[in-house]
Structure 1
């Protein structure tokens, strides 16, 4: 599914963010990526959807070598991936329905398919009753649920979440995690970078710990392993 082979990333300022990582993530896994701030987690995550390109080494998803994909083909790669960010990245002037449907409009889906599918995913994230609301009319947790709906509306095989509960209170964070677990149960591979020790320790999924750009731990039912 997702494979990294001896992947390195050095930024132009000389900072080495990723230092010889090799990893394999199977289809349908739920993986937490943990580690201290500045350890290389975000770079590790961003390389999976080609926001960052490795300095050397190979990253492949479903057999496609990301290093060899031309820039103009990156949007096509991302059609099979969903990405959820800590700060939601919703379009403020669009309704909940429009924010989610936008992801289908760019791949030129029919209006009938868009309406049906958007309402399906809004049901998954428990927001069907707020389809006409604007982002500023929603709570932080509701905005993150819209972001998740947008990320899964095109049925991606992989969902990448970078600190999706970072700006949320504990109760709302657990609500988000229950939704992500449901999505994973339907077969979507999830890779989630997080600093939330309670969630990692309670849910006991695979944990990949990154320190100083290297993998320091890779445990099937791991714990967070750091102080909050």
Structure 2
């Protein structure tokens, strides 16, 4: 599913963010990415959906070397990868339904297909009753559920979640994890960067720990391993 071979990322100011990472992630896995601030987690995540390009090395996702992709090909990659951010990134002027439908409209999906897919994912995140609401009318947890629904409406093979519970209270965070776990059980590979020690230590998954741009730990059912 994901293969990183000797991947390096150096930014123009000569800051080395990723230093020779080798990793393999199989289809259907749920993987936490942990590490202290400034360790390189964000760059690691951004490399996966071609927000940044590697300075050296190969990143292969479902058989495609994404580092060698032309810029015009990147949007097609992102149709196969869903991304959820800490700050939701919803369009405030659109309803819940419209926010999710937008992800399908940009690829010119048919109207009847859009309606079916949007209502299906709203059921997955348990928000069918909020379809006509605007983001400002929702709680933080509900907004994150909408963001997740938007990320999975194209049925991506990979879902990247960058600190998806970072702005949420503990109770709401557990609810978001229930949603992500359900999506994973449906076959989607999930890569989740997080600082949430309690979640990592309670909901046991594979843990990849990054420090100074290197993988220092890779455990099948790991612990967070850092002070929260």
2:98 matched residue in structure 1: 98
2:33 matched residue in structure 1: 33
Structure 2, unaligned runs of 5 or more: none
What is the number of equivalent residue pairs in this alignment? Answer: 228
Q: State how far apart, in whole Å, the 1-side matches of 2:205 and 2:162 are.
A: 16
Q: Secondary structure at the match of 2:94?
A: coil
Structure 1, unaligned runs of 5 or more: none
Matched, 1:70 2:80: no
Q: State how far apart, in whole Å, the 1-side matches of 2:222 and 2:204 are.
A: 6
Q: Secondary structure at the match of 2:67?
A: helix
Matched, 1:178 2:178: yes
User: Over the residues paired in the alignment, what is the CA RMSD in angstroms?
Assistant: 0.4
**What TM-score results when the alignment is normalised by the length of structure 2?**
1.00
Q: State how far apart, in whole Å, the 2-side matches of 1:137 and 1:163 are.
A: 23
Q: State how far apart, in whole Å, the 2-side matches of 1:188 and 1:67 are.
A: 22
Deviation of the 1:191 alpha carbon: 0.1
Cα deviation 1:43-78 (Å, max 9, x = unaligned): 000000000100000000011001111001100011
Matched, 1:20 2:32: no
Cα deviation 1:162-213 (Å, max 9, x = unaligned): 0000000000000000000000000000000000000000011000000000
1:55 matched residue in structure 2: 55
**What TM-score results when the alignment is normalised by the length of structure 1?**
1.00
2:227 matched residue in structure 1: 227
Q: Secondary structure at the match of 2:160?
A: strand
